[in-house]
């Protein structure tokens, strides 16, 4: 995990390695931009609202995930009944590098100026290309979120990425 805490932007990178699945096997799962709910833990809904799935400019609507801040809780009835949601636009796809970038264009979770890049790397990650399997790297950049710590957000991304790629690998090879 690399972190750069600045007054202007939070930036972080999380990475996980897959021992069995190769980059060419995992990459197609990410190209299904409207199908994130199939893989990401705790995300019950994701659907396309604009454009062609996997094409730059397309927009997905994701809802029901657990990033709502405690500050949005109603003290009498417990956590807010509002559903967490975001609209995310696919900005760029590089098939040769197995990289895509997306941004949040609207949300109710407090993320502003959010840009994220995911890269599927053959071999061990960090561009080494050696060995079997692959690694998935996820960079995030956003303005600081009121009521949230970057370290807590990074932990959620680390856990989410690890569980997501395990589901992808299980879809290829079956559960272990």
* Domain total of the chain: 1
Residue 139 lies in a domain: yes
Residue 73 lies in a domain: no
Q: Give the global pTM.
A: 0.84
Encode pLDDT of 99-119 as tens digits: 999 999 999 999 999 999 999
Host domain of residue 139? 2-66+83-165
Residue 117 lies in a domain: yes
Kindly state the tokens that stand for 100: 């895509």
CA-CA distance, 14 to 103, in Å (whole number)? 17
Residue 29 lies in a domain: yes
DSSP state of 78: B
Residue 172 lies in a domain: no
Mean pLDDT of the 147-156 span: 93
**Residue 50 vs residue 66, higher pLDDT:** 50
Asked if residue 123 has pLDDT above 70, the reply is yes
CA–CA–CA angle 58, 22, 101 (5° rounding): 25
Residue 72 lies in a domain: no
Residue 141 lies in a domain: yes
Kindly state the tokens that stand for 89: 């636009």
Per-residue pLDDT band at 161 (split at 50, 70, 90):
very high
Residue 75 lies in a domain: no
What CATH number does residue 131 fall under?
Answer: 3.30.530.20
Task: Please name which of 111, 109, 110, 130 lies closest in space to residue 121, comparing C-alpha atoms.
Answer: 130
Asked if residue 9 has pLDDT above 50, the reply is yes
């Amino acid at each position: 995990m690399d972190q750069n805490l600045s007054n202007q932007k939070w930036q972080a990178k999380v990475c996980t390695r897959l021992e069995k699945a190769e980059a060419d096997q995992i990459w197609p799962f990410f190209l299904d931009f409207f199908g994130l709910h199939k893989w990401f833990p705790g995300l019950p809904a994701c659907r396309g609202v604009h454009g062609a799935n996997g094409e730059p400019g397309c927009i997905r609507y994701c809802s029901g995930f657990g990033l709502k801040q405690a500050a949005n809780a109603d003290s009498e009835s417990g956590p807010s009944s509002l559903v967490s949601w975001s609209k995310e636009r696919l900005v760029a796809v590089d098939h040769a590098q197995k990289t895509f970038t997306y941004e949040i264009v609207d949300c109710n979770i407090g993320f502003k100026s959010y840009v994220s890049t995911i890269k599927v790397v053959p071999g061990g990650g960090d561009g080494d290309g050696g060995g079997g399997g692959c690694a998935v790297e996820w960079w995030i950049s956003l303005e600081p979120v009121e009521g949230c710590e970057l370290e807590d957000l990074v932990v959620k991304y680390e856990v989410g990425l690890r569980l997501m790629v395990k589901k992808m690998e299980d879809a290829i090879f079956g559960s272990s």
